Amino acid sequence: MLDPSLNRDDFEETIPDTIKPYLFGFKFNGDFDYRKVTIDDKFTYLWSENIFEAGAGVDFMETIMDFKFELDPALEAIFAANPQFRAALSDLKDIKKYNRYRAYAQNNFKIAEDLFINPGLRLDYYDLLGKGYIAPRLSFSYAIDEITTLRGVWGIYYQSPGYEKLRDQNILLILLTFTKPLDAEKAIHYVIGIERWLTNEWSLRFESYYKDLLI
């Protein structure tokens, strides 16, 4: 930064290396802190040959972005004498607290002696986005024989674009402006696989996985 007491036009034709004595320097250090506390609870109920399961949880999160400027002593003296300049390069600190809420329910139905189907539903609410999402899911398992099982899964999954991700995109400060128009990342998962027990402790599993990322 050129000494503001000097006329910038006088240095337009000057070789950069020769004006170093007339320059002021500054740098800054940035710290990013992410904290999360999670509470989860689950309920399971056995009825007939079926298994019902439900649960809920919440994540309490806090992100802190702190930028501290280190000024050249001469430049710091100039800013100290001019309050409007001092405010322009004052330390920047942004603290954001936000939560994620979730609940789900699923039931494992015994359709036949060797066939089980498990439909489920999950609800997510992202405080950062101010939006909620419903995600249906379905899985099945079919016992080919006593030690071999065929499995399949289909489901919709949502993921919030975390505050820390926005920070990595260099979107800093007053992030509320940027987060509210956003939607959660959405993906549809497809999984098919087969598992075979080799011993009482070891099994061999092959799976094919496909994800259709929509957002």
Residue 183: name the closest of 159, 157, 213, 155 by CA: 159
The predicted pLDDT at position 176 comes to 52
The predicted pLDDT at position 179 comes to 55
For the chain, give the DSSP string: -B-TTS-GGGGTTS-GGGGGGGB--EEEEEEEEEEEEEEEEEEEEEETTEEEEEEEEEEEEEEEEEEEEEE-HHHHHHHHH-HHHHHHTS-EEEEEEEEEEEEEEEEEEE-SSSEEEEEEEEEEEETTTTEEEEEEEEEEEEEEETTEEEEEEEEEEEE---HHHHHHTT--S-THHHHTT---EEEEEEEEEEEEESSSS-EEEEEEEEEEE--
Per-residue confidence in pLDDT tens, the chain, 215 aa: 444 555 555 545 554 544 444 455 666 677 778 889 999 999 999 999 899 999 999 999 888 877 777 766 766 666 666 666 655 556 677 788 889 999 999 999 999 999 999 999 999 999 888 899 999 999 999 999 999 999 999 999 998 876 555 554 554 444 555 555 678 889 999 999 999 999 988 999 999 999 988 76
pTM of the model: 0.68
User: Rounded CA gap, 137 and 8, in Å?
Assistant: 65
- Full set of structural domains in the chain with CATH: 34-62+90-213 (2.40.160.40)
